[in-house]
Amino acid sequence: MLNGMREHQAELADLRGDCERCFGLCCVALPFAASADFAVDKAAGTPCRNLREDHRCGIHAKLRQKGFSGCTVYDCFGAGQQVSQVTFGGQDWRTGPRDDARRMFEVFPVVRQLHELLWYLTEALALPAARPVHAELRKALERTEELTGGTPEELAGLDVAAHRQEVNVLLLRTSELARAGTKGRKKDRRGADLMGARLRGADLRGASLRGAYLIAADLTGADLRGADLIGADLRDADLTDADLTGAFFLTQPQLNAARGSAGTRLPGSVARPGHWTAQV
């Protein structure tokens, strides 16, 4: 059991952004608009004004203070290093042909979606309750990994939405199997509008919160053990002292966008965000 957990953690580690092996792609390829998350507007394909020549962020330690909190809740799931080092063989967009740079920025979001699917499929395969669909999940994982190894042209022409839909069928079945063994009422709140909802101490064990809008929801002390959180919007949700033990399909970007405390219990697949306040 312990060895299996360590193997699972190692697999997920490969699906986290490694800025040392990336050419700052998220700081160039992606657009953002001036808002509470970003201090300025930036067009896709234009380097962020804070990006240094060495592809590092010049204000990384002060992103929130400088008005770039949106950067702190983003993770490419390892797509940055995949595109930089594998798809384009270590070719820097600054020094390579301009057409290669444009194509690099084009395929980066595609690979990011594929790597996010790899995260979910890897986690699904670690769920004992999903054993009846493990064979199908492995096939989907292998197919997704194969797609990530495509040429820039193949990736640019990929119908990633169709592939996501195919994988989602398996992830839905995984969720049903995993939540079936969880004690509780197993509420189905898929896609529910729970923005600002008062859910302090709520019993959400085994609940389906897929795609639910939990923006600024009060989940203080809520029991989310064994809940499906895929795609749930947790921006500014208060997870102080909440129990997310065994919650699955929870990603680091989701957690980084929420608020929590030292008393928040988390699954081993994610890390406690550094900006969360510690309770004494």
Q: Evaluate the CA torsion angle 86, 90, 92, 96 in order and state its sign.
A: negative
- Does position 3 have pLDDT exceeding 50, yes or no? no
Structure pTM?
0.91
Question: Among the residues of 157-230, which ranges form H helices?
Answer: 160-180
CB contact burial 41-56 (16+ within 10 A = b; e otherwise): ebeeeeebebbeeebe
pLDDT confidence of residue 9:
55
pLDDT confidence of residue 262:
93
187: left (phi over 0), alpha (psi -120 to 50) or beta: beta
- Does position 176 have pLDDT exceeding 70, yes or no? yes
Question: Among the residues of 86-133, which ranges form H helices?
Answer: 98-125
Count of beta carbons in the 10 Å neighbourhood of residue 90: 10
Whose tokens are 């002060």? That residue is 62
pLDDT above 90 as % of the chain: 86
Q: d(Cα 65, Cα 128) in Å, to the nearest integer?
A: 43
Q: Measured in whole angstroms, how far is the alpha carbon of residue 5 from the centre of its chain? A: 20
Q: d(Cα 183, Cα 59) in Å, to the nearest integer?
A: 45
pLDDT confidence of residue 7:
55
DSSP 275: T
24: left (phi over 0), alpha (psi -120 to 50) or beta: left
- 247, 226 contact by CB (below 8 A): yes
Three-state secondary structure string covering 143-161: HHHHHHCCCHHHHHCCCHH
pLDDT confidence of residue 121:
97
- Does position 11 have pLDDT exceeding 90, yes or no? no
Mean pLDDT of 8-18: 76
Whose tokens are 């920025």? That residue is 105
Name the amino acid, one letter, at 216. A
- 127, 178 contact by CB (below 8 A): yes
- Does position 98 have pLDDT exceeding 60, yes or no? yes
pLDDT confidence of residue 277:
67
Contacts of 262 (CB under 8 A, 6+ apart): 272, 276, 278, 279
Instruction: Give residue-wise pLDDT tens across range 86-95.
Output: 999 999 999 9
- 234, 254 contact by CB (below 8 A): yes
